[in-house]
Amino acid sequence: MELDPLILSRIQFAFVVSFHAIFPVFSIGLASFIAVLEGLAFKTGNPLWEKLSAFWTKVFAVVFGMGVVSGIVMSFQFGTNWSNFSQASANFLGPMLSYEVITAFFLEAAFLGVLLFGRHKVPAGVHLFAAIMVAVGTFISSFWILSANSWMHTPAGVELRDGVFHVTSWSQAIFNPSFPYRFAHMVVASFLTGGFVVAGVSAWYLLRGREVEANRKALSMCLWMLLFLAPTQAVIGDLHGLNTMEHQPVKVAAMEGNWETSRNVPLLLFAIPDQENQTNRFEIGIPNLASFILTHEWDGEVPGLNEVAVEEQPPVGVVFWSFRVMVGLGLLMIAFALAGLLLRRNGAYYQKRWFLQGLRFMSITPFIAVIAGWFVTEIGRSPWLVYGMMNQAEALTPSLTGGMALFTLIGYVVVYGLVFSAGVYYLLRVLYVGLEDEDEGEHESDRPARPLSAAHVPFEIEHGQGDVSHAKPANEGGH
Amino acid sequence: MELFNLSLIWAFIIGFGVIMYVLMDGFDLGVGILFPFAPTETDRDTMMNTVAPVWDGNETWLVLGGAGLLAAFPLVYSIILPALYIGVFLMLAGLIFRGVAFEFRFKARTSRYLWNWAFAGGSTIAAFAQGAVVGAYIQGFETTNGAYSGGALDWLTPFTVLTGLGLLAGYALLGSTWLIMKTEGRLQEWAYRITTPLLIAVLVIFAIISVWTPFVDDMVRERWFDHITMIWVLPALTLLCAFQIWRSVRNRFEGMPFVATMGLFITTYLGLIVSRWPYVVPPEYTLWDAASAYESQLFLLLGLLFVIPIVLTYTAWTYWVFRGKVRAGEGYH
């Protein structure tokens, strides 16, 4: 069997990006939450805020570390697997990635140390400033990355000369047509991720009666934020969809499973897209709703996949179902946010076990939604890499063989599998030990002064020893 | 109209970034290479603590170098990375394991030996792969129409294995002299003891590489022997640095061995540049062939000129904060 380097490189990039993406979306949201907690601690002097902030900073340290480690690989993948793309787009992407390193990486590196180790060592105001700077750094970082990514969807401000993109307008290229929508959608997704994870973990502590006062505060804060942001995300998503219809109509057609450009298009709830026969099997839909959502008119015209040749269509099934997973989870998030409001009277949501249990399980949903959304937008661009200008096959490294691509694909899966298992396992240990972990002085000596070290929880589960003496046996744990 | 020769400025910036990376990540990789041979587990703790606060800042220079190369000389990026495909993967895998080991080793108790191996193995593989890159660069790359057209393992030859071992020994030397400066007592004594044998290993490998190199590439041979009246200065300076390392170890100086080792690296690096200048993808492309568009080089340069001084200040400040000796059972906090 012939190994196809194009397919293998696409799988490899999808794997690395999907894997990487879950860490930044979490750390962006969490960084802002920590900055808010630090601000409250600074303003009110209530030690509860400080306790919460110290705990979530530990979690942040682990997540941030994993994101950095998995992120280094990506910058090299452009060169190794997509060298023609690197060469063609370097005039724009090179400066974007470099600006990310010099404006965001160094800012984060500078202030992360102060945030992690500076409490009670630097003045409280400086510590608060460091927390804000780390949060700002995460936004600057996503600004550059999403600008670069959006440009690949809606290229602007460039012209193609002899197979190389030349920038004609930096402002048009950076603030390209889909950038504002993508950036807003991603930032809100990050807040939703942070919010649901903090809410879910707090709910779990409340179910077990641990640190009730602090965790109630955290849960209440999260639910207010989610109440505001979950519906907002639906609005932004809708606007993003309209923007996509304008610039990438074929992607929208795949999302809707709409094969022919037509009016009065139903919103399909369920369908099995059959790309070979260019039709759907088993359609269940709501009449005219897709037309209304996309054009805001009941009989509006919706683009179909027949606008382009079959070879230029993305894989419809994946895009169609990923989109439904994302939207479905989004609606579930709105439902939980509203339930939180209804239960707020008399603080019922602190007691309702079904609600707290539900929130526990909701903490995983933003990650799935983010990856599904990422699939929709990235696979939906297929077969283009730079939309309408450069396709994936043209972008591939000419010398790359299927065997080489397979070798590194397996390699990355193994390496990431090991590192990810260790990281997640450790993260769960940190969550398990929880806010009560106060006796930090004991092991002051053997901690290196870098990110994950702020979380001072031993790797193995031990009983009756040192700083985990109060931890309960692992099999009781809900995670 | 091009007011400045921006490509030349960028060659200087990238060249500066590379030597910054080599010197800074070099000593912390070197500590990892020496890790399994340390006298005791307590000494391993101390060794790790000497580099823990600064290693990830050091590695940021690698990321900056990669991104800067893409921005300023995309042809280098898009030819050399595919040519070194497997080597780049091994280096990244090594750096990942090593980076994670930094964070988890101190938390692990029964599984600590695994993180020791991850740290030492990751450092060794990354160092070897980087050395092989240097060898591959001297060898040159097979290209067709501005794209790499050789095989997956063309970079792996007896010559590149030797340069890989050379950099491994060189980084180990940076590591041992760093430890002389940063530690005391038994660990420092050990570092003193291994420095001279490491220096001899480095010199022997460098000597073989120097004799071999003219046979690897005709262009280098011509460059060397046509300009022998000027080029002899660099090997002479290298030997002077080597002598200085040997003498300062004998006299039990603490800072000088590290400084002299950095000198050894800088003169060797200059020798490499002189041998190949101005080819960035030998034997075909010069730095002007590989350059990106003028506007792109300018757009990034403006930001860089503003930010790099701040970055350097911060880096210097970090080293200042964590100055002084590291003792057993005592971190920086």
What is the DSSP-derived secondary structure letter of residue A396? S
Closest by alpha carbon to B124, among B174, B77, B164? B164
| A24-28, A265-269, B213-217: the lowest-pLDDT one | B213-217
For the cut 90, the answer to whether the pLDDT of residue A105 exceeds it is no
Cβ burial of A282 (10 Å; 0-12, 13-18, 19+) is: exposed
Distance CA A241, CA A12 (A): 27
Query: With DSSP H G I counted as helix, E B as strand and the rest as coil, what are the percentages for chain A, rounded to 5?
Result: 70, 5, 20
| Pairing outcome for strands A279-286 and A384-386 | unpaired
CB A51 within 8 A of CB A40: no
- For residue B278, say if its preceding peptide bond is cis, omega within 30 degrees of 0: yes
Distance CA A302, CA A309 (A): 17
Q: Check residues B319 and A19 and name the one with the higher pLDDT.
A: A19
Closest by alpha carbon to B64, among B303, B233, B321, B329? B303
Dihedral pair phi/psi, residue A391, rounded to 5°: -95, 170
Distance of CA B15 to the CA centre of its chain: 12
B95 closest CB neighbour out of A72, A103, A423: A72
CB A7 within 8 A of CB A406: no
Chain B CB within 8 Å of residue A413 CB? no
Contacts of A68 in chain B (CB under 8 A): 56, 99
Query: pLDDT band at A460, cuts 50/70/90?
Result: low
Residue type, B95: L
CA distances A139 to A275, A289, A371, A393, Å, are: 39, 35, 19, 32
A87 closest CB neighbour out of B74, B83, B92: B74
What is the residue-averaged pLDDT of chain B?
Answer: 89
Positive or negative torsion for Cα B276, B280, B284, B286: negative
CA distances A49 to A43, A58, A63, A134, A295, Å, are: 10, 14, 21, 18, 46
For the cut 50, the answer to whether the pLDDT of residue B332 exceeds it is no
**SS3 (DSSP) at A352:** coil
Distance CA A31, CA A230 (A): 19
Backbone φ/ψ region at B329: left (φ over 0), alpha (ψ -120 to 50), beta = left
Positive or negative torsion for Cα A288, A290, A295, A296: positive
CB B248 within 8 A of CB B278: no
Distance from CA of B318 to the nearest CA of A (A): 9
**SS3 (DSSP) at A258:** coil
pLDDT tens digit sequence for A156-167: 999 999 999 999
For the cut 70, the answer to whether the pLDDT of residue A463 exceeds it is no
Contact criterion met (CB < 8 Å) for A446 and B96: no
For the cut 90, the answer to whether the pLDDT of residue B142 exceeds it is yes
Query: Is the ipTM here above 0.90?
Result: no
| A101-110, A217-226, B82-91: the lowest-pLDDT one | A101-110
Give the model's pLDDT for residue B311. Answer: 77
Contacts of B147 in chain A (CB under 8 A): 83-84, 87, 397-399
Contacts of B74 in chain A (CB under 8 A): 86-87, 90-91, 94
Distance CA A363, CA A19 (A): 17
What percent of chain B has a predicted confidence (pLDDT) above 70? 97
Q: Which residues sit opposite A281 in a β-bridge?
A: A272
Half-sphere exposure (Cβ direction) of A151: Cα atoms closer than 13 Å: 27
Contact criterion met (CB < 8 Å) for B78 and A448: no
Residue type, A95: P
Dihedral pair phi/psi, residue A335, rounded to 5°: -60, -45
Q: What angle do CA A401, A404, A406 make, to 5 degrees?
A: 105
For the cut 70, the answer to whether the pLDDT of residue A190 exceeds it is yes
Q: What angle do CA B220, B222, B228 make, to 5 degrees?
A: 100
What percent of chain A has a predicted confidence (pLDDT) above 70? 91
Please give, one letter per residue, the 3-state secondary structure of chain B.
CCCCCHHHHHHHHHHHHHHHHHHHHHHHHHHHHHHHHCCCHHHHHHHHHHHCCCHHHHHHHHHHHHHHHHHHCHHHHHHHHHHCHHHHHHHHHHHHHHHHHHHHCCCCCCCHHHHHHHHHHHHHHHHHHHHHHHHHHHHCCCEECCEECCCCCCCCCHHHHHHHHHHHHHHHHHHHHHHHHHCCHHHHHHHHHHHHHHHHHHHHHHHHHHHHHHHHCHHHHHHHHHCHHHHCHHHHHHHHHHHHHHHHHHCCCCCHHHHHHHHHHHHHHHHHHHHHCCEEECCCEEHHHHCCCHHHHHHHHHHHHHHHHHHHHHHHHHHHHCCCCCCCCCCCC
Distance CA A384, CA A308 (A): 13
Interface test with A, best of B79, B85, B125, B332 (most A CBs within 10 A): B85
B110 closest CB neighbour out of A403, A449, A460: A460
Give the model's pLDDT for residue A475. Answer: 38
Chain B CB within 8 Å of residue A87 CB? yes
Chain B CB within 8 Å of residue A445 CB? yes
Chain B CB within 8 Å of residue A415 CB? yes
Query: pLDDT band at B107, cuts 50/70/90?
Result: confident
Contact criterion met (CB < 8 Å) for B147 and A401: no
Distance from CA of B285 to the nearest CA of A (A): 14
CB B258 within 8 A of CB B174: yes
**SS3 (DSSP) at A121:** coil
| B59-63, B213-217, B314-318: the lowest-pLDDT one | B314-318
Interface test with A, best of B25, B46, B55, B70 (most A CBs within 10 A): B70
Distance from CA of A466 to the nearest CA of B (A): 12
Distance CA A128, CA B252 (A): 45
What is the C-alpha radius of gyration for chain A, rounded to an integer number of angstroms? 24
For the cut 50, the answer to whether the pLDDT of residue A471 exceeds it is no
Contacts of B82 in chain A (CB under 8 A): 79-80, 83, 397-400
| A:B CB pairs within 8 Å | 238
What percent of chain A has a predicted confidence (pLDDT) above 90? 68
Mean pLDDT of all residues in A412-437: 86
Distance of CA A226 to the CA centre of its chain: 16
Calculate the dihedral angle through the C-alpha atoms of A156, A159, A162, A166, rounding to the nearest 10 degrees. -80
Contact criterion met (CB < 8 Å) for A453 and B150: no
Distance CA A447, CA B30 (A): 21
Interface test with A, best of B31, B104, B145 (most A CBs within 10 A): B104
pLDDT tens digit sequence for A245-294: 999 999 999 999 999 999 999 999 999 999 999 999 988 999 999 999 89
Chain B CB within 8 Å of residue A458 CB? yes
Contact criterion met (CB < 8 Å) for B104 and A426: yes
Contacts of A450 in chain B (CB under 8 A): 52-53, 55-56, 102-103
| Pairing outcome for strands A267-274 and A279-286 | antiparallel
CB A110 within 8 A of CB A140: no
Q: Which residues contact B68 (CB under 8 A, 6 or more apart)?
A: A94, A98, B10, B13, B14, B17, B300
Which element (helix H / strand E) includes A384?
A: strand A384-386
Give the model's pLDDT for residue A69. Answer: 76
Residue type, A436: E
CA distances B14 to B9, B69, B248, Å, are: 9, 7, 32
pLDDT tens digit sequence for B123-141: 999 999 999 999 999 999 9
Positive or negative torsion for Cα A84, A88, A91, A97: negative
Contact criterion met (CB < 8 Å) for B53 and A105: no
Distance CA A398, CA B79 (A): 10
What is the residue-averaged pLDDT of chain A?
Answer: 88
Query: pLDDT band at A474, cuts 50/70/90?
Result: very low
Give the model's pLDDT for residue A436. Answer: 75
- Given the structure tokens 């400086």, which residue do they identify? A126
Chain B CB within 8 Å of residue A382 CB? no
Give the model's pLDDT for residue A456. Answer: 59
**SS3 (DSSP) at A391:** strand
- The full length of chain B comes to 333
CB A234 within 8 A of CB A330: yes
Contacts of B151 in chain A (CB under 8 A): 399
| A446-455, B209-218, B251-260: the lowest-pLDDT one | A446-455
Chain B CB within 8 Å of residue A75 CB? yes
Contacts of B292 in chain A (CB under 8 A): 90-91, 94
Closest by alpha carbon to B62, among B32, B86, B96, B31? B96
